[in-house]
Amino acid sequence: MAVDFANWSGLIRSRPAEVRPVATLDEVVAAVQEASANSWPVRVAGSKHSHSPVLHNDDGLVLLTDGLVGELTIDAGAGTAQIPAGMKLSAVGAPLWDAGFSLVNQGDVDVQSIAGLVGTGVHGTGRQLQSMSEAVVDATIVLADGSVVSAAADPDVLEAARLNLGALGVITDVTLALAPAYHLHETKWREAVDPVMERIDELIAATRHFEFFWYPGDDSVRAKSLALHPGPPDPMPESEWEYVDRAHIVFPSQRAVEHTEMEYSVPRADGPECFAQIRALMQTTFTHIEWPVEYRTVASDTSWIGNASGRETVSISVHQTIAEPHEEFFRACEEIFLSFDGRPHWGKRHYRSRSDFEAMYGEGFTKFCQVRARLDPEGRFLNPHLTSLLT
């Protein structure tokens, strides 16, 4: 009998035959072998925070990895940590700090699983900081035949594993390159949007991390900068806008209200004009959308299908409440993003097809599809969404 399965927002729903928790490597191997013997498709879920249908299938088995946790193993000499795949980002910061390390960067929230972050190429903000996938130096993967491989043993497999869409196999741990432990000084402020955009390059260059949310209701910006600080933590009680703490405490925000989201990455030089056009669209045509627009930066990388592959990037996110329609608004935004050569976040909404991704990533996309087909020739880890994009 099929079971109900939903993502975090509740807007993406499916009815797989079975949703099964897994807590050990042996349980993962047994589940994958059983699925292969019965020709069941398999999807693997972390915290289910993706807004795209990457997790979903009205058939087969969904493996839940919340229990695939345990100790993380730090190699202080190499500056790396091997982290169980299901461990939430919120559980990683303290043990790393105790060993003298922090993650190089983090995104808006810390509820995702480690493998889920890598699954869709999650990023934070920072002029010189790449996506979290770029910190991956190894991963253990259970393939469709139940064999267990180390991604680092094959450079192509490692590159594909860095941003894998859950399409290679079940990842049971991820090894990340770390930074020496650091404190951050957070400063938040409100300001009209025009003066912020007039000095946007200056603001981005001034600190390790800069981002803003533009609120269409009052045409103002809630800006945030995070600067390296020597520490120790300082709550700065005299100011409600500033404080200093350990990096993993400062990075995450609360995103309690369910919503759905589209995010595109555009070349950094085009960020201001692209944002101006989204702002104009919301001020003229979609005046009922109250949700803010987020503006962040990501450094260029050499990944195959990463949003910042080969170019300095600005990511722009638009949101809508789950109670109201979003598609007409998102499609209109997508037209603007595409006119700036935009690339959609793999874990958020888009309306693109395989040929679009081929054009966006060229040879990198072909290589990713080839490695996927080599590791999973029968498509055990595909669902209709991934089949349409990757085969």
Which residue ranges make up the site for ligand FAD (CB under 6 A)? 8, 43-50, 54-55, 65, 85, 107-109, 112-113, 115-117, 119-120, 122-123, 165-166, 170-171, 255, 345, 347
Rounded Cα distance, 134 and 123, in Å: 10
Q: Which is nearer to ligand FAD, 83 or 200 (CB)?
A: 83
The answer, yes or no, to whether the previous bond of 325 is cis (omega within 30 of 0) is no
Query: Smallest distance, Å, CB 90 to ligand FAD?
Result: 11
| CB-CB contact of 391 with 369 (8 Å) | yes
Query: Smallest distance, Å, CB 381 to ligand FAD?
Result: 8
Extended strands (E) in the chain: 5-6, 13-14, 18-21, 42-45, 61-64, 73-75, 80-84, 101-102, 136-142, 148-150, 170-177, 179-180, 183-192, 209-215, 220-229, 242-246, 259-267, 293-298, 313-321, 343-344
Rounded Cα distance, 348 and 354, in Å: 16
Q: Which is nearer to ligand FAD, 126 or 166 (CB)?
A: 166
| CB-CB contact of 214 with 276 (8 Å) | no
Rounded Cα distance, 353 and 340, in Å: 18
Q: Which is nearer to ligand FAD, 30 or 109 (CB)?
A: 109
Query: Smallest distance, Å, CB 354 to ligand FAD?
Result: 17
Query: Smallest distance, Å, CB 237 to ligand FAD?
Result: 28
Query: Smallest distance, Å, CB 67 to ligand FAD?
Result: 11
Query: Smallest distance, Å, CB 196 to ligand FAD?
Result: 20
Rounded Cα distance, 316 and 211, in Å: 10
Rounded Cα distance, 164 and 304, in Å: 10
C-alpha dist (Å) from residue 360 to 147, 175, 269, 317: 33, 28, 18, 19
310 phi-psi bin (left φ>0, alpha ψ -120 to 50, beta other): left
Rounded Cα distance, 121 and 151, in Å: 16
Q: Which is nearer to ligand FAD, 8 or 215 (CB)?
A: 8
Query: Smallest distance, Å, CB 22 to ligand FAD?
Result: 9
Q: Which is nearer to ligand FAD, 11 or 99 (CB)?
A: 11
Q: Which is nearer to ligand FAD, 47 or 80 (CB)?
A: 47
Query: Smallest distance, Å, CB 261 to ligand FAD?
Result: 7
Rounded Cα distance, 369 and 365, in Å: 6
Residue located via tokens 């869409």: 165
Q: Which is nearer to ligand FAD, 239 or 388 (CB)?
A: 388
Question: Would you tell me how many other CB atoms lie within 10 Å of the CB of residue 257?
Answer: 10
Query: Smallest distance, Å, CB 92 to ligand FAD?
Result: 12
Residue 321, beta-bridge partner list: 259
Distance of CA 33 to the CA centre of its chain: 29
Q: Which is nearer to ligand FAD, 270 or 376 (CB)?
A: 376
Q: Which is nearer to ligand FAD, 236 or 373 (CB)?
A: 373
